[in-house]
Chains A and B, each alone.
Chain A
Amino acid sequence: MARKLLKQNEKVREERAEMTDIGAPHHELSPAALNRIAAQGESKLKPDRQIHDGQYKAALPGKLIRSEGDTETGIADADTAYDAAGQVFSLFADEYGRNSLDDDGMPLVATVHHRRNYNNAFWDGKQMAYGTGDGKLFRTFLELSVVGHEMAHGVIQYSGGLLYENQSGALNESIADVFGSLTLQRGLALEAHEADWLVGRGILGPDINGAALRSMKAPGTAYSDDLLGQDPQPWHMDHFVVTTDDNGGVHINSGIPNHAFYLFATYLGGKAWEIPGRIWYHALQSLNNPMASFSDWADQTIKSANELTGNGSSEAVMLRRAWKLVGIAI
């Protein structure tokens, strides 16, 4: 216990040193949040994972096949869902001090083998569900950025929510992509310039011409395929798509805030789940506006940067620059 706490303290010190290196003030997180992370540490916050087999049916959650602490089931999707849920839990717990999706230790319930040839994954308000894909359009949904994305929808829901249509819906999608990508980058220990910034890399079918579902680095370039068409994501407000499809283009226009986050993290360099991730997480906790527009959100992230890294910090300046580059002046 003592050794783990020591390790945690060392980690906090290292983080502070890293931030000092790039010119950030020392109060990168509020004292309360820092104390909370230090007090809880990696040893105290533990996930309670409950993985179910949907047996290719639609009823949820299905048959419980792996609970917290159980050994591997030998069912690849179930074991991946278990491991990935642990990594997502760890991102939110160890980096942001959050105890599960509701910040109150709720069990992480997931169902694999949901329906037959099902080309989708989702968060239903209480749990995650993953199809296997039909082998043509999709080969799997058990990929870390996808799992992180779905679980982040749960975090967003319990953080006041963002109405799932038009700009607030696209923000919901974007924030889910951000934490999905951050889970993967942290899992692979990649710095911002080393990461590919793809969401759902390798999940498309073998004959689909595409690398992933979305690209935060270059929205609109993730795939170009006869069956799927061209990745429709814009990266700039000039190309904002007005549509009634997809709940008002929530998976389309999310490209704009996605790219702003990418630019910000790349300007700062280093580990994107640290300062950029903390700023995004803190903004989500303080937003309190389920109908937020892109501009409202950008404003909230700047406030969050000022609070965490100091008024007029280089981080806040870089962040304003990132938003401006995607056409959102604040």
Chain B
Amino acid sequence: MIIEIAAKGGFGGFAATGLHKTIDVDRQAAPIRQELSDAFKPDELARLSREPCGNCPDRMTYHITVTDEARHSRSFTLHEHQLPPETLDLIDQM
């Protein structure tokens, strides 16, 4: 499983925010591998992306693409506040 993450927006409104990561989940150590697989499950990302935004100035937007072993890709656009803090920590850690 490959996870690609790009962020844009925020206080500056920039298209480039310095965050662009590609994570090969299968190459990670076992505990992290499990955490990543759980956090970036496509159905879970789809559910999170439907959560309401309300009033959220200056937040970043994440474009996340998950590609499985069969090379089938699904892409999601999520606002920063739609991602749980644990998932954001995982993104920062990778």
Contacts and interface: CB of A to CB of B under 8 A. Distances in A.
A157 B54 CA distance: 11
A252 B13 contact: yes
B18 interface: yes
Interface size of B as a range: 20 to 34
Contacts of B60: 120
B8 A119 contact: no
A121 B18 contact: no
B33 interface: no
B19 A119 contact: yes
Nearest to B88: A58
A227 B15 CA distance: 10
Interface residues of A, number: 44
A153 interface: yes
A164 B52 CA distance: 13
A74 interface: no
A125 B56 contact: yes
Interface string B13-45: 111111100000000000000000000000000
Contact of B89 (A58, A120, A136): A58
Interface string A200-211: 100000000000
Interface in B52-94: 53-60, 81, 85-86, 88-89, 92-93
A213 B11 contact: yes
A123 B57 contact: yes
A213 B10 CA distance: 12
Given A124-B81, A153-B58, 6 more contacts: A116-B92, A124-B59, A137-B16, A150-B11, A228-B14, A246-B9
16 contacts: A58-B89, A115-B88, A115-B89, A117-B18, A120-B10, A121-B58, A125-B56, A137-B16, A150-B11, A157-B55, A164-B57, A172-B57, A200-B11, A232-B13, A245-B9, A246-B8
Interface of A: 56-60, 115-125, 134, 136-138, 141, 146, 149-150, 153, 157, 161, 164, 172-173, 176, 200, 213, 227-229, 232, 245-247, 249-252
